[in-house]
DNA sequence: CAAGAGATCATCT
DNA sequence: GATGATCTCTTGA
């Protein structure tokens, strides 16, 4: 668990501010990070205003041996960031349309990351609606491509330090939610790795990408 | 409601 | 030259 949680004040004092997750949080095993991220808050600062979402769905991509992980293809310009130290954003562009947000985990030279797949909108909701051109709260960020659009996350944030002030995660003192694990989405090509239950969801959340 | 196609481009072969 | 850690819209029952 994150060390900062020991210093948490009563919940009512956390209505507007949380504790930024430290680098040591991201240095844990990738599966642990993916699970513990559920119930944490994604914060994106932007000139037009901040957007905040409660994370309800993640996926772990655990290293070069994981055939679903981009790093299994080797160290390239695209995957370089995953080979660096934990606590940085890995943002890539796919299908000609969408950006995907990942958080680099574990130690230097161990390429692994957690994909953020869905968040529950918490703040900056009008901004998200304007960017996404949809109205329903449940549709704003219930998918990895949707949330990147809602939060204005693109490849200019690739490599961003999650311990800085533009893009980061917060603990807001809530109890760990009940978790459900399933195989990851869209990785049928990954051989025996496609069946690993590395997708984690908050049970009972209405804001996940699919059930 | 389920299934399928199309959109569109960075990345790697 | 092919393909992908997606999304939305259209079709048809």
**Over its length of 211 residues, how does chain A's per-residue pLDDT go in tens digits?**
444 444 444 444 444 579 999 999 999 999 999 999 999 999 999 999 999 999 999 999 999 999 999 999 999 999 999 999 999 999 999 999 999 999 999 999 999 999 999 999 999 999 999 999 999 999 999 999 999 999 999 999 999 999 999 999 999 999 999 999 999 999 999 999 999 999 999 999 999 998 7
Residue A17: what pLDDT?
A: 75
A128-CA/C10-C1' distance, Å: 26
Residue A210: what pLDDT?
A: 87
Chain A residues 97-116, Cβ below 7 A from strand B: 97
Q: Which nucleotide across the nucleic acid strands is nearest to A142, CA versus C1'?
A: C7
Say yes or no: Cβ of A61 under 7 A from any atom of strand C: yes
Q: Which nucleotide across the nucleic acid strands is nearest to A132, CA versus C1'?
A: C7
A15-CA/B3-C1' distance, Å: 44
Say yes or no: Cβ of A144 under 7 A from any atom of strand C: yes
Whole-angstrom CA distances from A76 to A80, A82, A128 are 6, 10, 33
* A63-78: burial string, b at 16+ Cβ within 10 Å, e else: bbebebbbbbeeeeee
Chain A residues 144-163, Cβ below 7 A from strand B: 155
Whole-angstrom CA distances from A170 to A6, A39, A55, A190, A197 are 14, 9, 10, 32, 25
Residue A2: what pLDDT?
A: 44
Say yes or no: Cβ of A92 under 7 A from any atom of strand B: yes
Residue A16: what pLDDT?
A: 59
Residue A180: what pLDDT?
A: 97
A153-CA/C8-C1' distance, Å: 20
Q: Which nucleotides of C are covered by protein (CB under 7 A)?
A: 4-8
Say yes or no: Cβ of A143 under 7 A from any atom of strand C: yes
Q: Which nucleotide across the nucleic acid strands is nearest to A79, CA versus C1'?
A: B11
Q: Residue A116: which H helix or E strand, with range?
A: strand A113-123
Residue A190: what pLDDT?
A: 95
Residue A56: what pLDDT?
A: 98
CA distance A101 to A92: 7
CA distance A190 to A77: 22
Chain A residues 110-129, Cβ below 7 A from strand C: 113, 115
pTM as predicted? 0.92
Q: Which nucleotide across the nucleic acid strands is nearest to A93, CA versus C1'?
A: B10
Tell me if A4 sits within 8 A of A171, measured CB to CB.
Answer: yes
């Amino acid at each position: 668990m994150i060390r900062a949680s020991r210093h948490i004040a009563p919940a009512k004092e956390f209505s507007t501010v949380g504790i930024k997750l430290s680098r040591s949080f991201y240095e844990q095993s990738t599966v642990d990070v993916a699970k513990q991220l559920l119930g944490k808050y994604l914060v994106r600062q932007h000139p037009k205003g901040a957007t905040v979402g409660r994370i309800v769905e993640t996926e772990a991509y655990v290293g070069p041996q994981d055939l679903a992980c981009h790093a299994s293809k080797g160290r390239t310009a695209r995957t370089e960031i995953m080979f660096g130290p934990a606590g940085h954003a890995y943002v890539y562009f796919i299908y000609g349309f969408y950006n995907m947000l990942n958080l680099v985990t574990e130690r230097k030279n161990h390429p692994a990351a957690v994909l953020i797949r869905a968040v529950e909108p918490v703040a900056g909701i009008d901004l998200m609606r304007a960017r996404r051109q949809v109205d329903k709260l449940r549709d704003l960020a219930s998918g990895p491509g949707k949330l990147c659009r809602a939060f204005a996350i693109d490849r200019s944030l690739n490599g961003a330090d999650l311990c800085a002030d533009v893009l980061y995660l917060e603990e807001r003192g809530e109890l760990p939610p009940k978790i459900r694990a399933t195989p990851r989405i869209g990785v049928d090509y990954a051989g025996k790795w496609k069946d690993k239950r590395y997708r984690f969801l908050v049970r009972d959340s209405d804001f996940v990408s699919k059930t």
